[in-house]
């Protein structure tokens, strides 16, 4: 969240984690996330299955959905996420989190380390391409980072150890 108007966003790890949890609930895939001055625009593909006819045949249709999440929405998502997770069982809850909640969290941690002005990223076949707007001594410039599916999965598996938590078997 922004501490004051015009400041860089704080805590991408938790912000993106909460967006990822929402996407897991919607069943979205192949998404794009754009940071706007007052929140995020998220677009992704959703597969809807519907019953058709008397024979109960299921047809799947793929649609693109777009959401705009304002900072107030993100704050609510974060609060709901904190309420959902029990502080004494973080390692267990981590294992029960959806893929996007986990992937967005570890990507958010990377973004926090970079301290960008804003972010844009998209997913393609499990890989994430990030474009970070960075401040430099001569102005601002965009920096590109890419994480393959294997790199994201490795980051997810290392996250509990990095936070000093031991996953419970």
Would you put residue 155 in left (φ > 0), alpha (ψ -120 to 50) or beta?
Answer: alpha
Q: What span, in angstroms and rounded, lies between the C-alpha atoms of 16 and 21?
A: 9
Q: What span, in angstroms and rounded, lies between the C-alpha atoms of 40 and 70?
A: 6
Q: What percent of the chain has pLDDT over 70?
A: 76
Give me the half-sphere count of Cα atoms (radius 13 Å) on the Cβ side of residue 136: 9
State yes or no: pLDDT of 99 exceeds 70.
yes
* Own/partner long-range contacts of 133-137 (Cβ < 8 Å, ≥24 apart): none
**Residue-averaged pLDDT of the chain:** 83
CB 104 within 8 A of CB 35: no
Q: Which of 89, 70, 87, 79 is nearest to 18 (CA)?
A: 79
- pTM value surpassing 0.85: no
pLDDT digits (tens, 9 = 90+) for 63-84: 999 999 998 998 888 888 777 7
Mean pLDDT is highest, among 49-58, 68-77, 91-100, 146-155, for 146-155
- How big is the CA angle at 125 (ends 154 and 25), to the nearest 5 degrees? 80
pLDDT digits (tens, 9 = 90+) for 107-127: 999 999 999 999 999 999 889
């Amino acid at each position: 969240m922004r501490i004051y108007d015009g400041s860089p966003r704080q805590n991408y790890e938790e912000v993106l984690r909460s967006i990822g949890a929402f996407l897991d609930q919607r069943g979205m895939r192949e998404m794009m996330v754009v940071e706007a001055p007052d929140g995020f625009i998220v677009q992704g593909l959703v597969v809807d299955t519907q019953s058709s006819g008397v024979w109960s045949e299921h047809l799947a249709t793929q649609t693109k959905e777009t959401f705009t999440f304002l900072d107030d929405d993100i704050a609510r998502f974060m609060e709901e996420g904190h309420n959902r997770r029990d502080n004494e069982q973080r390692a267990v809850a981590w294992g029960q989190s959806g893929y996007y909640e986990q992937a967005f969290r570890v990507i958010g941690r990377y973004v926090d380390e970079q301290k960008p002005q804003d972010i844009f990223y998209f997913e393609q076949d499990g890989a994430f391409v990030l474009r970070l707007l960075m401040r430099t001594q001569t102005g601002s410039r965009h920096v590109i980072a890419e994480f393959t599916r294997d790199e994201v999965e490795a980051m997810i598996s290392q996250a509990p150890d990095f936070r000093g938590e031991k996953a419970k078997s």
